[in-house]
Amino acid sequence: MHIVEMQGITKQFGDVIANDHVDFYLRKGEVHALLGENGAGKTTLMRILYGLYQQDSGDVLVNDTKVSIHSPKDAIANGIGMVTQHFALVPPLTVAENVVLGFTDSFVLDRADIERKVSEASRKFGMDIDPKALIRHLSVGQRQRVEILKALYRDARVLILDEPTAVLVPQEVDLLFDTLNRLRKDGISVIFISHKLDEVTTITDRVTVLRDGKAVGTVDTANITKNDLAKMMVGRESFGVTRQQDQKENGKCILELKNLSAQDDKGLSALKDINLQVCEGEILGIAGVSGNGQKELAETLCGVRNVSEGQILIEGQDLVGKEPSQFTAVGIGRIPEDRHEGMVGELSVAQNMAMEHLKEYSSGGRMDRKAILATAEKLIEQYQIKARPNDKTRTLSGGNMQKVLLARVLSRQPKTIIVPQPTRGLDVGATDYVREQLLEQRKRGAAVLLISEDLDEILALSDRIAVIYEGEIVGVLPAQEATAERLGLLMSGAVKEN
């Protein structure tokens, strides 16, 4: 018997078919992965089950009875809870207060009773949460556990977790998996959304794979290899691009940050006294949990955020206070974090490729359109971009947009390359391609600063890894010494190694 059956679910957004006749069957007491690449339709399917979206067609059954779920309230009444990617907790309130928030009708809270229940559930499922603690004092991992407690307090028998590990350091992932095992023992069913094969094979009983909005199939985890899952997920094997373990002479230092400090948009200290060097032919990875200063670091190094103290030296020349165009002029190539911000969607591929270098194509106040088109044709071929020079970039897929940006920046052969989150949101094929390009740049002798929240990416590509925590570099390790455990401890702020 299934606790939940989703039959022939279809959901369309404009031209996009996010779910295309998807079947999904959930058993009682299993941890069931919903696996698929970005954009495969995982979140959409679960938002339908949780009442945040309505399906265009298809049926949902809970305990063999057809149900209509029009809101999270309906979902909860059917024993379905969801922890989304963005938590909805109120920071100045306690854990216990958050757990009952919006749930109890009573005006008089029996505080002691709620705290006891929360504390019992927390212990039972291995979560170690103090019901009296204020949310604002809790780490991201702890907040996630509060969200799970909140669902359990509402008697959820089906718990949906949307990419729960994306915000966790490795040690917290172990804790979460321990909790999932205990939930399973208690007969609760967990839907675990992920695109990470390691996690899925470690923790789940069964896997349903989505690709391009369609369910490719459901398999028992015990009977399948990671390679087979990868094939189901992307329609081909992932080659897993990684840096070769070559021993290189240390190149000359190109980029040097000296005592660099900067503020965030709110005027709070975001980068604190950062000292780093990136040398020729080296990829320096910056690892860290999202929101620890990565964005500000990337912006500072491209001249779009003010420096409050310190120096940014390129071959000894200080760039602090200079215009972004001067950063480009001395050989800093920047691949922007937000692809849509990096180009103008209404302009053509060719125009976007020429952007930042328009001077080279103009003489006597006229643009040399032919030269712009010719360059674009060359780059489209070289970077294997699926587009024509005159296509508007907004019509391109994420992977092809990223290739346009890469072509624009890398064709200039910059000495230093700043790349924040280069593969976020890309499919496996495009991810492999981007990583290969970065390794090519390393081979060419560029100094590459790779800022990524994907620890696997950092480990696969970096020669050295620096960990950023609350705007500080808390450790720098050579790749050979950087294990996920050691990096995790640094990323969580538990230890410092400098």
Ligand X SMILES: Nc1ncnc2c1ncn2[C@@H]1O[C@H](COP(=O)(O)OP(=O)(O)O)[C@@H](O)[C@H]1O
Rounded to a whole number of angstroms, the minimum distance from the CB of residue 54 to ligand X is 12
Rounded to a whole number of angstroms, the minimum distance from the CB of residue 360 to ligand X is 36
Q: What are the C-alpha distances in Å from 292 to residues 3, 167, 277, 467, 472?
A: 40, 12, 19, 10, 8
Q: Give the range of 9-17, 39-47, 125-133, 335-343 binding Mg ion by CB under 5 A.
A: 39-47
Cβ-based nearer residue to ligand X, 162 or 337? 162
Cα 79 to Cα 3: distance, rounded to the nearest angstrom = 10
Rounded to a whole number of angstroms, the minimum distance from the CB of residue 36 to ligand X is 5
Residues 80 and 155 sit within 8 Å (Cβ to Cβ) = no
Instruction: Tell me which of Mg ion, ligand X, none is bound by residue 79, counting a contact when its beta carbon lies within the kind-specific cut-off of 5 to 8 angstroms.
Output: none
Distance of CA 487 to the CA centre of its chain: 17
Cβ-based nearer residue to ligand X, 55 or 94? 55
Cβ-based nearer residue to ligand X, 22 or 491? 22
Rounded to a whole number of angstroms, the minimum distance from the CB of residue 105 to ligand X is 31
Rounded to a whole number of angstroms, the minimum distance from the CB of residue 43 to ligand X is 3
Q: Give the range of 35-43, 101-109, 221-229, 413-421 binding Mg ion by CB under 5 A.
A: 35-43
Cβ-based nearer residue to ligand X, 13 or 239? 13
Rounded to a whole number of angstroms, the minimum distance from the CB of residue 240 to ligand X is 21
Q: Give the range of 41-49, 104-112, 114-122, 289-297 binding Mg ion by CB under 5 A.
A: 41-49
Cα 102 to Cα 250: distance, rounded to the nearest angstrom = 59
Rounded to a whole number of angstroms, the minimum distance from the CB of residue 88 to ligand X is 18
**Alpha-carbon torsion (476, 480, 484, 485), positive or negative:** negative
Q: Give the range of 40-48, 202-210, 277-285, 415-423 binding Mg ion by CB under 5 A.
A: 40-48
Cβ-based nearer residue to Mg ion, 263 or 397? 397
Beta-bridge partner residues of 348: 392
Query: How many residues bind to Mg ion according to rule CB under 5 A?
Result: 1
User: In the complex, which residue's CB is closest to Mg ion?
Assistant: 43
Q: How many residues does the chain have?
A: 498
For β-strands 57-62 and 332-334, DSSP reports them as unpaired
> Mind giving me the DSSP string for 227-243?
HHHHHHHHSS-------
For residues 302 to 341, the per-residue mask of contacts with Mg ion, x marking binding by CB under 5 A and - elsewhere, is ----------------------------------------
Rounded to a whole number of angstroms, the minimum distance from the CB of residue 282 to Mg ion is 34
Single out the residue of 240, 223, 203 nearest to residue 35, CA to CA.
203
Rounded to a whole number of angstroms, the minimum distance from the CB of residue 42 to ligand X is 3
For the chain, give percent helix, strand, coil, nearest 5: 35, 25, 35
**One of 9, 22, 43, 383 touching Mg ion (CB under 5 A):** 43
Provide the binding-site residues for ligand X, judged by CB under 6 A.
Answer: 13, 16, 18, 36, 38-44
Instruction: Tell me which of ligand X, Mg ion, none is bound by residue 38, counting a contact when its beta carbon lies within the kind-specific cut-off of 5 to 8 angstroms.
Output: ligand X
3-state secondary structure of 353: helix
Instruction: Tell me which of ligand X, Mg ion, none is bound by residue 39, counting a contact when its beta carbon lies within the kind-specific cut-off of 5 to 8 angstroms.
Output: ligand X
Cβ-based nearer residue to ligand X, 208 or 300? 208
Instruction: Tell me which of ligand X, Mg ion, none is bound by residue 40, counting a contact when its beta carbon lies within the kind-specific cut-off of 5 to 8 angstroms.
Output: ligand X
Residues 211 and 235 sit within 8 Å (Cβ to Cβ) = yes
Single out the residue of 222, 220, 198 nearest to residue 209, CA to CA.
220
Single out the residue of 440, 422, 439 nearest to residue 431, CA to CA.
422
Distance of CA 381 to the CA centre of its chain: 29
Rounded to a whole number of angstroms, the minimum distance from the CB of residue 41 to ligand X is 4
Rounded to a whole number of angstroms, the minimum distance from the CB of residue 52 to ligand X is 10
Cβ-based nearer residue to ligand X, 24 or 327? 24
**Cα within 13 Å of Cα(358), Cβ side:** 9
Instruction: Tell me which of Mg ion, ligand X, none is bound by residue 329, counting a contact when its beta carbon lies within the kind-specific cut-off of 5 to 8 angstroms.
Output: none
Residues 192 and 161 sit within 8 Å (Cβ to Cβ) = yes
Instruction: Tell me which of ligand X, Mg ion, none is bound by residue 36, counting a contact when its beta carbon lies within the kind-specific cut-off of 5 to 8 angstroms.
Output: ligand X
Hunting for tokens 């503020």 — which residue is that? 263
Cβ-based nearer residue to ligand X, 33 or 40? 40
Cβ-based nearer residue to Mg ion, 83 or 476? 83
Residues 437 and 450 sit within 8 Å (Cβ to Cβ) = no
Cβ-based nearer residue to ligand X, 40 or 314? 40
Cβ-based nearer residue to ligand X, 159 or 193? 193
Torsion angle defined by CA atoms of residues 310, 313, 316 and 318, in that order, rounded to the nearest 10 degrees:
-70
**Token pair in block for residue 160:** 């949906």
Q: What are the C-alpha distances in Å from 326 to residues 149, 317, 323, 332, 488?
A: 52, 12, 5, 9, 37
Instruction: Tell me which of Mg ion, ligand X, none is bound by residue 239, counting a contact when its beta carbon lies within the kind-specific cut-off of 5 to 8 angstroms.
Output: none
Task: Report the interface residues with Mg ion, using CB under 5 A.
Answer: 43
